Structure 1
């Protein structure tokens, strides 16, 4: 072979190696930045022991001719669970903890509700984010963080094949507080929850404590 071509081959190989190394460092740097941002976001969210917010939820499904929309109030009690109070177009209160989901009627009576597959992992992930338990979150999900602490986006992909068969991914958006949750299921169902008027919850009522199993 002509020495000129052998020289070109050597130059191309060297450039390829340098390009690979540069891309590797770029990927590692991007991962480190994403990890740093994720830890900063979790630290910020975990400063609030309990929050209240108004929500609007839109659910779309291939089985539905049009999206279903509901609205109401929610309460996140860090480390204990969530109260989901639907006010429109019907009234219903659900209490979700790491152990159970119950429906609460107007008289305060509770009835156990069987969780759909994937719901338990979603609830645990949200609790992990709000309590700063990042190790548990990353054990179950691959997490990608984008943006800044002031305005961020988190993308969660399930690691467990059993969960991944049902749940495609979850996206969280927020700033000081969580502002939006989007859940995509493998069957094409999409749930989009927008939160407004988010604030520190203040003291919980006796009924709220009872629903969440607090003393």
Structure 2
């Protein structure tokens, strides 16, 4: 009888203990990411879709500045710079002038989530996503599933992985589409160019 009671208690408290462990890992990961106030990283993005004959591959550089937003600078197969600042998304012209993007709600939401993660703000992300953490502080994975039914009809999940820095993002869509982004040469941003400052609204 005592053994049965013990096993029952174990079953009851195991999910709670697992949730606490997940939360502790999440907080550790976000604390490490939040230490970097300005980061650059090279990226390779691979987009797959059942409607495409072969995956689309692009390469470029990401710039994230805490409290100001991020620049997504594609180099190949064509040059394009996108700025995500707060709730705004814009294409950046040659002189750094922004041109607001229309119908970019999905991209903006994902960029907001990523900015909040890189800034170490879990509460903002939890409002829209269920978060499950696995691994260790040295090599971790965070899986995000949308809470809102409307978003969940389109977006299946987002998976982030990394160590001291973010190493990869995998976005799975409900229509079978998949976007895989790998980061390398992640480092402190250093001095920003005039165009980068203008694009992010910095003095």
Indicate whether the TM-score tops 0.5. yes
> In structure 1, the residue corresponding to 2:127 is in which secondary structure?
helix
Partner of 1:70: 58
> In structure 2, the residue corresponding to 1:79 is in which secondary structure?
coil
> How many aligned positions are there?
203
> In structure 1, the residue corresponding to 2:156 is in which secondary structure?
strand
Q: Does 1:40 align with 2:28?
A: yes
Distance 2:185 2:200 in 1: 22
Partner of 1:127: 115
Gaps of 5+ in 2: none
Candidates 79, 82, 85, aligned match of 2:67? 79
Q: Does 1:168 align with 2:156?
A: yes
Gaps of 5+ in 1: 1-10
> In structure 2, the residue corresponding to 1:122 is in which secondary structure?
helix
1:118 touches 1:166 (CA, 8 Å); kept in 2? no
* Aligned ranges 1:1-215 → 2 under 5 Å: 15=4, 18-215=6-203
Distance 1:147 1:206 in 2: 40
Deviations 1:154-173 (A, max 9, x none): 00011111211111110000
Which structure carries more strand by proportion?
2
Once structures 1 and 2 are overlaid, which stretch shifts more, 201-210 or 32-41? 201-210
**CA positional deviation for 1:117:** 4.0
> In structure 1, the residue corresponding to 2:176 is in which secondary structure?
coil
Q: CA RMSD in A?
A: 1.7
Judged with a 3 Å threshold, the aligned counterparts in structure 2 of structure 1 residues 23 and 72 are, in CA distance, closer, same or farther, namely same
1:54 touches 1:73 (CA, 8 Å); kept in 2? yes
